[in-house]
Structure 1
Amino acid sequence: MERSTFKIDKYYLTKVDADRKSIYCHHDLMGELLVPTHKHNKAQMLYAEGDVVFVTTETKSYFLPARHFIWIPAGLEHSIQPKSENVMMRNLYFPVEKDEDAFYKNEGIYPVNNLLLQMMLFTNQWNGDLKKGSPNFTIAKAIKAILPQICTNNLPLELPQPKDKRLGKILRHVENNLGETILFSEVAHEFGYSERSLYRLFQKDLKMSFIQYYTIRRILKAIELLLDRKLSVKEVALEVGYSSVPTFSNTFFKILGQRPSDYLNGEDVLKSR
């Protein structure tokens, strides 16, 4: 407990904003640390390696898989929780500038391409404030500058937090039965709704349909299982309710932009450097 409090105070609440003009850099093997809800005056670029990181805001729950980064705008309250002690999290915190591109005002999850990966490698030995005018500051600022140009695919790896308690029960039912084929008509009947009224509840509260929520939740679970590296792609497909591997693979590709087999075989490039 002492270790967790020390790290939160030192890195997340105190030092990030101490110098409002610097770019702050912090890399850490996070262990089981939960960083509770907080915010900072700088925008945050968080890259994850090794496992999944959960980032939660007031309205959404983000699912950050390995080899991706999340952009968190300045002033947005959020909590951070790595799924396992193996997660390496690399953070760059950027001061807000005048007339910034709209990209920087919205949170989002993006894959790290080879260009961005090579630039991130430069930051591996950095920690603390990067002073304006220093070579490291210039490199970090270049990383920020290219994001709107290369990060055009904001991945739908977040799910809204339900406000309606009745809907919360339904979503827990989905969560507990991801290995089965869940039919909307059966869910409506089991929880005492007509299909029409339940459809309206999903749209009003979550701003998405049942099938959209269900599909994303299955793929998010599949990513977790792939990163565990204990099951084959076929076994993962079955675990999240897909009897057809091609259908699972196509759905995975539509959401993540790569096939499950490619994701499973991806290398943890930054983790070992």
Structure 2
Amino acid sequence: MESSHHKVDKYYIKNVDADKNSIYCHHDLMGELFVPTHKHLKAQLLYAEGDVVFVTTETKTYFLPARHFIWIPGGIEHSIQPKSENVMMRNLYFPIEANENVFFQTEGIYPVNNLLLQMMLFTNRWNGDLEKGTPNFVIASAIKAILPQICLTNLPLELPLPKDERLNKILRFIENNLGETILFAEVATQFGYSERSLYRLFQKDLGMSFIQYYTIRRILKAIELLLEKKLSVKEIAQEVGYNSVPTFSNTFYKILRQRPSDYLNQDEILKRK
């Protein structure tokens, strides 16, 4: 493990908790950087623009699309891996306060609305510790204070990591065949399960049904393709195994609260200043 710790040290992680009372700020164009598993006492707001970022905790992989942020409570081990080198990440690390709103005690992914976007843009030139009593500290505190009031939908953009090796094989099969329509009954037969026992395995190990897992996996793949801006909505629907564009669009909307076409038309506002 030693080597990965050194990598983290070269990174800014060790500075996050150096001053227990400051709000720490770090903005970075990721490059090819992978941030190995680490934790800090402060809670983290991680905002991404440009592509998808994978955030992995002990039990889940979170899938953070551009123009969203993830809230990571203090003390939670996590690693961070951008899908491509053109991801811009903005991080604010907040000291834990007494009697915090329950919002801050849970991991979650939320879309960034225009108000929050403008406030994040305002933090563009900051780096390092924001000291209590300074205007920047007050502004950063306002960003935190506004979150529970504007972030009302915690998006289900995470997939549990399987503990059972047999399930791993099935999830890899799903992964490799997202362009086909995969039927639960056929998967059960192919991997030698009765439908009932496979259903139970999914529920017990992942806490969700096959269809929930499969749906979220398809939509996550669709987000990646939409962010690449190379294919039309119709082509993307087909790439993730939907024959009907309306069905695809409605499923996408149920999970993300916006249409695939909105995703395709997003401008990147936070170009690096």
**Percent same amino acid among aligned pairs?**
81
| 1:86-122: CA deviation from partner (whole Å, max 9, x where unpaired) | 0000000000000101111110000001111111111
In structure 2, the partner of 1:137 is 137
4+ residue runs over 6 A deviation: 4-7
In structure 2, the partner of 1:163 is 163
Determine whether 1:259 maps to 2:267: no
Determine whether 1:97 maps to 2:104: no
In structure 1, the partner of 2:192 is 192
The amino acid of 2:161's aligned partner reads Q
TM-score (norm 2): 0.97
Deviation at 1:9, TM superposition (A): 1.7
Give the Cα separation in 1 of the matches to 2:40 and 2:139. 22
The amino acid of 2:248's aligned partner reads F
Measured on the aligned residues, the alpha-carbon RMSD in Å equals 1.3
In structure 1, the partner of 2:241 is 241
The amino acid of 1:187's aligned partner reads V
Aligned residues: 270
Give the Cα separation in 2 of the matches to 1:7 and 1:222. 32
Deviation at 1:10, TM superposition (A): 4.6
In structure 2, the partner of 1:54 is 54
Deviation at 1:34, TM superposition (A): 0.5
Give the Cα separation in 2 of the matches to 1:43 and 1:17. 10
Give the Cα separation in 2 of the matches to 1:10 and 1:154. 33
Q: For the Cα contact (< 8 Å) 1:11–1:26, is it kept in 2? A: no
Give the Cα separation in 1 of the matches to 2:220 and 2:56. 15
**Change in 2 beyond 3 A, CA 1:54/1:94:** same
Give the Cα separation in 1 of the matches to 2:246 and 2:113. 25
Give the Cα separation in 2 of the matches to 1:29 and 1:5. 21
Deviation at 1:208, TM superposition (A): 0.3
| 1:27-67: CA deviation from partner (whole Å, max 9, x where unpaired) | 00011110000000100000000000000000000000000
The amino acid of 1:74's aligned partner reads G
The amino acid of 1:125's aligned partner reads R
The amino acid of 2:207's aligned partner reads K
- How is 1:33-182 mapped onto 2 (pairs within 5 angstroms)? 33-182=33-182
- Partner SS, residue 124 of structure 1: coil
| 1:116-148: CA deviation from partner (whole Å, max 9, x where unpaired) | 111111100100000000000000000001111
The amino acid of 2:14's aligned partner reads T
| 1:215-254: CA deviation from partner (whole Å, max 9, x where unpaired) | 0000000000111111111111100000111110111111
Q: Identify unmatched segments of 5+ residues in structure 2.
A: none
In structure 2, the partner of 1:224 is 224
| 1:61-94: CA deviation from partner (whole Å, max 9, x where unpaired) | 0000000000000000000000001000000000
Q: Identify unmatched segments of 5+ residues in structure 1.
A: none
Deviation at 1:5, TM superposition (A): 8.3
- Partner SS, residue 18 of structure 2: coil
The amino acid of 1:193's aligned partner reads Y
Deviation at 1:257, TM superposition (A): 0.7
Deviation at 1:272, TM superposition (A): 4.5
The amino acid of 2:249's aligned partner reads S
Give the Cα separation in 1 of the matches to 2:11 and 2:105. 23
The amino acid of 2:211's aligned partner reads I
The amino acid of 2:261's aligned partner reads S
The amino acid of 2:8's aligned partner reads I
